[in-house]
Structure 1
Amino acid sequence: MSDRPALARCTSLPPEEFAERVWSREPSLSPAVELPRDFSDLLSLADVDALLSEQGLRTPFLRLAKDGQVVPERRWTSGGGVGATVGDQVRDERVAELFADGATVVLQALHRTHAPLARFAAALSGDLGHPVQVNAYVTPAQNQGFSSHYDLHDVFVLQVAGEKRWRLHPPVVTDPLRDDPWTDHRDAVERAAAAEPYLETVLRPGDALYVPRGWLHAATALGEVSAHLTVGVHVRTRAWLVEALTALVLDDPRLRQTLPLGVDVTAADDLAPHLAATVAALTERLPVVRADDVARRLTGAVLTGNRPAPLAPLAQAAAVASVGAGTVVRARVGLRTVLRDAGEGLRLVLPDRSIDWPDRVRASLQVLLGGDDVVVGELPDLAGDDAVQLVRRLLREGVVVPVPPAGPR
């Protein structure tokens, strides 16, 4: 577990300690001096300005909030002008006006629109085994974007610029699921947020804070513009496994049976015999479901849970055309794949398709998917054109990417 470089940027704790003591249990603060480097390579205030003014950004990739309320989109969007048949592009001058008036800028899904964060999110998702998204919050001095609330996912807060005071309170709902938002518990949240905080701290550039789902939090910018990244980790839960198990046993005729005409499911006496029959069927079926069956059921969701690192289409096409024995490639960061036996061969399962291969390429495929730089002519058990054809197909499918030659020293 020690080699998790993306996670090491988010916490100063060793991965083993973070996993055993902190993960999903309690907040954890990591000062900048205890982390490998700051986060200026991931996002800067200049990057924020470029995204807002030069990238043709559209909703829902941007939100504005003030005094705990979302600013209506009509106040800061308009049509894209001549030749752009869109009606929701960001008006940079309106954003500037609202920001100067105290609104927080929320850049959403930066793992889709900003290449450095796309690469980082892909790597962190691989380190954690859970899907990751990235938002940025840019708050004017002495302003608070959102009131105290809790999220339905874990969060790493990475402070990029300025200072922001954070107040954290223990959960009012333990390990909330997707159908349990904080707005359903507004009164309890407000009461809990009025108490003495579990943690109150000021984040400065390069500091990181981990907040498990359900923990109440609110943040206020201090004496200057503050910007932080919110890295949301959409954790997989055992409730997710329950959904997979349910889907796997629904072929049982007893569970597909229609309830009787006239049944009143709001009356316990009417419902009881049907509930008992359902529980009996589940009790019989669930113990014989194999882990392999559940794993196959979950494969599609796992492979599509996160977008892989960006791929340069023109460079990729050039690599397909020019691949040779001296070409160096590596597995595309963040692309989740599964390699399975399939009859007398292999099946490489990708997010939206699968590819069958003869068993003789097994060792080479395993090397190519391993993450290290690989020279085509040095692949095991394959020689000459066979190795070139294997890599050409993987380049065409976006599974591996070319590694540029090292520059002069």
Structure 2
Amino acid sequence: MSARGRGPGDRSALSRCVAIDTASFASEYWATRPLLTPAAELGQDFSDLFSRDDVDELVSARALRTPFVRMAEEGAVLPPSRFTAPGGFGAEVGDQVSSEKVLAEFADGATLVLQGLHRTWPPIAEFTRRLAAELGHPCQVNAYITPASSRGFDPHYDVHDVFVLQVHGEKHWTIHEPVHPDPLRDQPWSDHRAAVAERAAGTPAIDATFGPGDALYLPRGWIHSATALGGISIHLTIGVAAYTRHDIVQEAVARAADAASLRASLPLGFDPADTEALRPIVEATIADLLAVLGGQEQDTTAAVAHRLEARRRADTPPEPVRPLATVDAADALDPEGASGVRVALRAGLRPRITADDSSVTVRLADKSVSLPIAARAAIERIATGEPVTVSDLPDLDVGSAVVVARRLLREGVLVIAHGDA
């Protein structure tokens, strides 16, 4: 197993959340209906990802700041001053989590929420990167730590899909069908507060108690609330910010900037309140837009793909690099030792590789790295994502392979691959 770490048995990330095969999940459940999977079917728990001790470490020893931590009680979010404080001399920032205040609020029944664990807790960060790659949509992770017999939030829906992984204790979940299916990110449940409350008072679609190792998939829009039972409950909520057809519409319409007719100014004296005058302008604009999109479908598809890929890169950062260790590794790399050093493409980087007659270029979100065209086969081998021994980089003598590997290590394209491939 590589040093990056994988779940028990090197299982795929999605298979740790659902017990059915990916094709069945995609066709029968994804973005459609919930799926509750008992621990017995998954055959594992989530102790390698998170635990009670991990909660205590994050609160007591990691100097978390808002918004990476929040607390709530009976549906109301507590003001940060209730659970944060300055860190003392040399750390006077006032919004650091206070372990003493958290203790007081938690003992009094408040739920603790550790947010953005995909950025602060390495096992979850690695798991989340792999899950996002498998789903094709960005993911983020929060942990909800609830005292016995406490409810953290009122019935509500999320504007993203979620996987719920029960880590510790028991929690009773009540889930109802949507009142606003497939909500977009700017369509929160509070826009439909009365309808949500009415639906939550009816017969639930799922009414179940989750124990350690149980997992739930819940599409966006499904109404839910949860209550801890008999002791402390800890669960992870993996939010999946699914890209939608509306995103494609937005990115396609952005192509309007390429059409001169759609960049034209509106008439002098334009009055948006004059609907009769506005109607022909709107009709002509829509006709021109459809002509632009329909007449250049291939170009529009390519442009949409480029824009969505740029969004995905921004939404899902690659794995972090270790600056000091990387510099040491690059400096130590030489032809004599190249046969004993394995490197791999940095997880989640997703570079674009282009080439011309003289050079091959690794295009990243924020920069491009160009190398002589002789390195093209080596770059294409690296881009597969599979670890490779430096001396085995194709079409390069060992000295040139070392030069390429050093450059790509320092540029944050490669990392040292430890352990098994």
Fold similarity call, TM over 0.5: yes
Q: Identify which of 216, 241, 251 aligns with 2:248.
A: 241
Over aligned residues, Cα RMSD in angstroms?
Answer: 1.7
1:317 aligns with 2:327: yes
Distance 1:342 1:168 in 2: 55
- Corresponding residue for 2:312? 302
- Per-residue deviation at 1:147? 0.9
Q: What runs of 5+ residues in structure 1 fail to find an aligned partner? A: none
Question: Cα deviation per residue 1:108-152 (whole Å; 9 max; x = unaligned)?
Answer: 001111111111111111111111101000000111100111111
What SS does the aligned partner of 1:304 have? helix
- Tell me what 2:192 maps to: 185
Q: Deviation at 1:182?
A: 0.5
**Using the alignment, how far apart are the partners of 1:263 and 1:9 within structure 2?**
57
Give the equivalent residue in structure 2 for 1:335. Answer: 349
Partner of 1:100: 107
2:269 aligns with 262
Say if 1:20 and 1:69 are closer, same or farther in 2 by CA, change over 3 A: same
Match for residue 35 of structure 1?
42
Distance 1:165 1:298 in 2: 38
Residue 235 (structure 2) aligns with: 228
Q: Where does residue 53 of structure 2 map in the other structure? A: 46
Aligned pairs for 1:60-75 (under 5 A) are 60-75=67-82
8 Å CA contact 1:141, 1:223 repeated in 2: yes
Instruction: Sort the Cα spacing of 1:29 and 1:405 in 2 relative to 1 into closer, same or farther, 3 A.
Output: closer
> 1:286, CA displacement in angstroms?
0.6
- Paired with 1:338 and 1:207, the residues of 2 have a C-alpha distance of 39
Separation (CA, whole Å) in 2 of partners of 1:230 and 1:6: 14
Aligned-pair CA distance for 1:84: 1.6
What is the CA-CA distance between 1:97 and the residue it aligns to? Answer: 0.5
Decide which of 19, 28, 38 is 2:26's aligned counterpart.
19
Which string of whole-angstrom CA distances, capped at 9 and with x for unpartnered residues, describes residues 355-380 of structure 1?
Answer: 22344323222222223221111122
Q: Distance in 2 between matches of 1:57 and 1:45?
A: 17
Summarize deviations over 1:331-385 as a string: whole Å, max 9, x none: 2222232223456543322121122234432322222222322111112222211
Comparing 256-265 and 320-329, the one that deviates more:
256-265
Instruction: Quote the Cα distance in structure 2 between the aligned partners of 1:344 and 1:163.
Output: 62
Counterpart CA distance in 2 for 1:32 and 1:367 is: 39
Q: 1:125·1:334 contact (CA, 8 Å) conserved in 2?
A: no
In 2, the alpha carbon distance for the partners of 1:242 and 1:107 equals 34
TM-score, with structure 1 as normaliser: 0.94
Question: What SS class does the counterpart of residue 164 from structure 1 fall into?
Answer: strand
Identity over the aligned pairs, expressed in percent? 48
| Residues 284-293 or 92-101, more deviating | 284-293
TM-score normalised by L of structure 2? 0.92
Please tell me whether residue 355 in structure 1 is matched to residue 369 in structure 2: yes
Letter in 2 for 1:47: D
Tell me if the contact between 1:346 and 1:362 (Cα under 8 Å) persists in the aligned partners: yes
